Structure formats: C-alpha cells, structure tokens
Amino acid sequence: MTTVPQPTAETRWRCTLCGNLTRFDVTRSSKVVEYVHLDLAGEPTVEEREVVSETIESVRCRWCNAVDRIELVDRPGAGS
C-alpha cells in the first residue's frame, strides 16, 4: 500500500488526468484517543479527540475517478 502525501500550507492536490483541484474522495486510517462522556441515559459524546497517527491511503478524483494520478502542486501565492 502506497501512502499519498498530505497537502501543506504551500501545496495542494491536483489530478494529473483532468486538472481537478477541488474535489477528492480521501481514504485515511487514523489512530485516535478520545475522551467519551456518557450522559445519564447512556448517550456518548466525544469531548476531546487526539489524533495519534494518520495515514492517507488513497485520494480519488471526483471528476474523473482517477486514483493513481494525484500530485502535489504549489498553492497560488504560497511563495509570496
């Protein structure tokens, strides 16, 4: 399984097949620690959530369904 790099403040995803910059389906695996509060009726509410690790497994373009054609490109104005 190949992981996909996550965008940063200077980069974003782009589909190399169709040029899409805005719509993607992201599959990720996360390991989290949650503080769960149960009310008197037993209904849970997550009050705190800490992400211990997170891996993006795949990114699929919503426009053309390409999975293996996603790249990181510079965001406009990121170098300014």
Q: Which of 37, 11, 15, 38 is nearest to 26 (CA)?
A: 15
79 within domain boundaries:
no
Give me the domain span that covers residue 29.
11-74
3 within domain boundaries:
no
Residue 1 has pLDDT above 80, yes or no: no
**31 residue type, one letter:** K
Give the chain's domain count.
1
What confidence tier does 68 reach under pLDDT thresholds 50, 70, 90?
confident
Residue 78 has pLDDT above 70, yes or no: no
Residue 40 has pLDDT above 70, yes or no: yes
What value does the mean pLDDT of the chain take?
Answer: 92
> Which pLDDT does position 80 carry in this prediction?
56
Q: What is the pTM of this model?
A: 0.72
Q: Which of 55, 64, 56 is nearest to 16 (CA)?
A: 64
